[in-house]
Chains A and B, each alone.
Chain A
Amino acid sequence: MEHPYLFFVKLFEMIGLGHFAHEYPHVVYSWVVMALLMIAGAVASKNITMVPAKMQNLFEVMISGIEEFMVENTGEEGRWLLPLAATVFIYVFVGNLIGLVPGFFPPTASINTTLSCALVVVVFTHIIGIKYHGVKYIKHFLGPVWWMSPLIFMIEIIGHLARILSLTFRLFGNMMGHEIVLAILFALAGAFFAPLPIMALGIFVSFVQAFVFFLLSIIYFTGAMEHAH
């Protein structure tokens, strides 16, 4: 697959870091997403008023929507998870979306980015479990009856590893598949605007995949917080 034309990679070439930017475009574009989100957050929180203006209004709608949905699913005791869960959702969503801008590469189309997000979520699940239950967290892995414990322990460990794999590959596969379809359609019939319907589908897929990642994260957090069977 040939290298598409990427704006920020060219920018890095101009300041001399071309080799780094060509090898790791997903790192460069994850920096772009981070810069975008930090600038948007700074602009929105500059003059906070009781009757919100435009940018603050948009952020309030988004954050309160995410918070209500989260508390509906995790209950009141899960409210403190909002910063991590909302960050995961907004980062993955914006990361997916900038792939639709011509000349940009979505950082989530690389398995490194998605694996890092999945690892953070799953490790945090275990931290929540240990924080809430202490040593008795191991009971979550042992099943309902004591004489089946070794077998159930193995199955639960494999299940947790499968969570990391499934989160990673779901997001990576969707974004990479989208990029590949766009590249092929562009090569085949680019002059006839053939990639356009796929880009319209891409907006929908970006939102749904970010939402599914967020939903699965809060389900795993809830599962670690509640009592064992």
Chain B
Amino acid sequence: MEAEALKFFVACVTAAGFGIAIAAFGCGIGQGLGLKAAVEGIARNPESSGKVTVTMLIGLAMIESLCIYALVVALILIYASPMATTVTDLLTK
């Protein structure tokens, strides 16, 4: 029973690691594209830099939130997986 729980926990933690890495990869590309368009807009029309910056920040926060959802799932996998109590008992004995 404990061996199974430990294997499940190791699988959960591996999945969490890969999950957040892939999410950060996608988020980086998305935010980079948004940032590219914002900088091009400012280069084209320096007077609009205030509005463009505010819109860009709002867009970046929206895209970031998708990565945060993946982070929350990773945290659930590490700290609140179904075998969490069994594994913490094992590790503290």
- CB within 8 Å of B: which residues of A? 1, 166, 169-170, 172-174, 176-177, 180, 208-209, 211-212, 215
Contact = CB atoms under 8 A, between A and B. Distances in A.
16 contacts: A166-B65, A169-B68, A169-B72, A170-B65, A170-B68, A173-B65, A173-B68, A173-B69, A174-B64, A174-B68, A176-B72, A177-B68, A177-B71, A208-B61, A211-B58, A215-B58
A215 B62 CA distance: 11
A57 B61 CA distance: 30
B75 interface: yes
Interface residues of B, number: 12
A212 B61 contact: yes
A186 B14 CA distance: 24
A173 B62 contact: no
A180 B16 CA distance: 15
B15 interface: no
A1 B79 contact: yes
Contacts of A180: 75
B82 to A, nearest CB: 19
Most chain B CB inside 10 Å of its own CB: which residue of A1, A173, A208, A211: A173
Contacts of B65: 166, 169-170, 173-174, 212
B87 to A, nearest CB: 14
B57 interface: yes
B58 A173 contact: no
